[in-house]
């Protein structure tokens, strides 16, 4: 028997992963949740038919969304994470002893429960005493937060379905208000390659630059995401992602990573000409 999970990256492009078996499938209050076991990628998490993470390449996404701001901001004590139900961002954040408080706002409790049961590789730090989980809409949560966080990480799904509100002007403006005066916002910023993704990427950038004085994107290779070329947004009230990168300080921590290095950190901000143009058009 052959069993394949297939995702359409565009109506004209399909990516298929051979699957050994389906470990979990349900319709939560917010979305369909599936977990599969696959020979190439280990366990994979699928929400509403879109591949969210695989055990083989999740380290790339989670290291890059976390360590880039942590190597720039000199004193992160309080962090807000929106989304991140699989736990990967929490795992990386809890490697930093100076972080005192992590609020995580995930709309769908079932994603966390499923991850605890089926994805122990990422869902391994949910019992950290510094973590406080709120099961609610990040868009609503952020409205009442003022001058509260050093770092906000938006580990959202795509800009349609439950994650749609996390790509709005209102949301980015509220993130700005929720951050301290030297705070940093990191968001998953879609891909610049396929046309529809590129438009989403450009739209998000346009809205962020209206809220933050400094806004850059950085790129990563994520083999299981559409085109493999993925962007994160780095938006900041004060710190520059390269000028304020303290390589010696971060390297002195001795944190072992498989993707992130402080050298790669620099290179990830050097994006292709066509991506520069895509973003400059709305700056």
Annotated binding site: 31, 62, 86, 106, 137-138, 155-158, 162
Backbone dihedral region for residue 145 (phi beyond 0: left; psi -120 to 50: alpha; all else: beta): beta
Of 34, 108, 150, 155, catalytic: 155
- CA 140, distance to chain mean position in Å, is 19
Taking alpha carbons only, the member of 82, 75, 67, 125 closest to residue 100 is 75
Judged by CB under 8 A, the stretch of 32-40, 87-95, 100-108, 149-157 that binds a copy of itself is 32-40
Residue 40 C-beta: closest distance to a copy of itself, Å? 4
Q: What tokens does 117 get?
A: 């049961």
Q: Which residues contact 86 (CB under 8 A, 6 or more apart)?
A: 45, 52, 53, 58, 111, 115, 119, 122, 123
Residue 50 sits in the site that holds a copy of itself (CB under 8 A): no
Joined together, the tokens standing for residue 212 give 């933050």
For a copy of itself, give the closer residue by CB, 46 or 102: 46
Compare residues 58 and 106 and give the one whose CB is closer to a copy of itself: 58
**Piece of 102-110, 130-138, 152-160, 264-272 that binds a copy of itself (CB under 8 A):** 264-272
Could you tell me the smallest distance in angstroms from the CB atom of residue 213 to a copy of itself?
22
| Residues of span 202-231 touching a copy of itself by CB under 8 A | 219, 221, 223, 227-229
CB 7, min distance to a copy of itself, A: 11
**Residue partners of 281: CB distance under 8 A and separation at least 6:** 202
Comparison of 11 and 129: residue with beta carbon closer to a copy of itself = 11
Q: Which tokens go with 130?
A: 């510094």
In angstroms, rounded to a whole number, what is the distance separating the alpha carbons of residues 103 and 80?
5
Among 100, 161, 263, 281, binds a copy of itself (CB under 8 A): 263
128 is catalytic: no
Among positions 248, 258, 280, 283, the unique one binding a copy of itself when judged by CB under 8 A:
258
What gap in Å lies between CA 229 and CA 208, rounded to an integer? Answer: 20
Q: How far apart are CB 248 and a copy of itself at their closest, in Å?
A: 17
Give the closest residue to 83 by CA, choosing from 63, 111, 48, 49.
111
Please work out, in degrees rounded to the nearest 5, the angle formed at the alpha carbon of residue 132 by the alpha carbons of 88 and 61: 15
Contact letters (x/-) for a copy of itself, 158-197, by CB under 8 A?
Answer: -----------------------------------xx---
**Cβ atoms within 10 A of the Cβ of 170, count?**
13
Cα of 55 vs its chain's centroid, Å? 15
Total count of residues recorded for the chain: 283
Which residues carry a binding-site annotation for spermidine? 62, 86, 155-158
Q: Which residues are annotated as a binding site for S-methyl-5'-thioadenosine?
A: 31, 106, 137-138, 162
Residues forming the site for a copy of itself (CB under 8 A):
4, 10-18, 38-40, 57, 60, 193-194, 219, 221, 223, 227-229, 257-261, 263-264, 266-274, 276
């Amino acid at each position: 028997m052959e069993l394949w999970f297939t995702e359409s990256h565009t109506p004209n492009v399909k990516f298929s992963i051979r699957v050994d078996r389906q470990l979990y499938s349900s319709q939560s209050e917010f979305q369909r949740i599936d977990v599969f076991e696959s020979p190439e990628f280990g366990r994979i998490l699928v929400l509403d038919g879109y591949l969210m993470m695989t055990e083989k390449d999740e380290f790339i996404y989670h290291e890059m969304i976390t360590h880039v701001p942590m190597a720039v901001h000199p004193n992160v004590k309080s962090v807000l994470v929106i989304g991140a139900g699989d736990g990967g961002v929490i795992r990386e954040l809890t490697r930093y002893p100076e972080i005192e408080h992590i609020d995580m706002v995930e709309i769908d409790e079932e994603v966390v429960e499923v991850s605890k049961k089926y994805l122990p590789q990422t869902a391994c730090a949910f019992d950290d005493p510094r973590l406080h989980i709120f099961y609610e809409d990040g868009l609503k949560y952020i409205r009442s937060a003022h001058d509260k966080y050093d770092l906000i990480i938006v580990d959202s799904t795509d800009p349609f379905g439950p994650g749609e509100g996390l790509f709005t002007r209102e949301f980015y403006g509220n993130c700005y208000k929720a951050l301290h005066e030297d705070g940093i916002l990191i968001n998953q910023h879609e891909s610049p390659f396929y046309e529809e993704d590129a438009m989403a990427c450009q739209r998000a950038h346009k809205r962020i630059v209206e809220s933050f004085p400094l806004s850059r994107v950085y790129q990563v290779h994520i083999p299981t995401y559409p085109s493999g070329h993925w962007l994160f947004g780095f938006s900041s009230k004060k710190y520059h992602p390269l000028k304020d990168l303290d390589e010696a300080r971060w390297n002195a921590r001795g944190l072992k990573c498989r993707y992130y290095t402080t050298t790669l950190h620099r290179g990830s901000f050097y994006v292709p000409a066509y991506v520069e143009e895509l973003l400059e058009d709305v700056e």
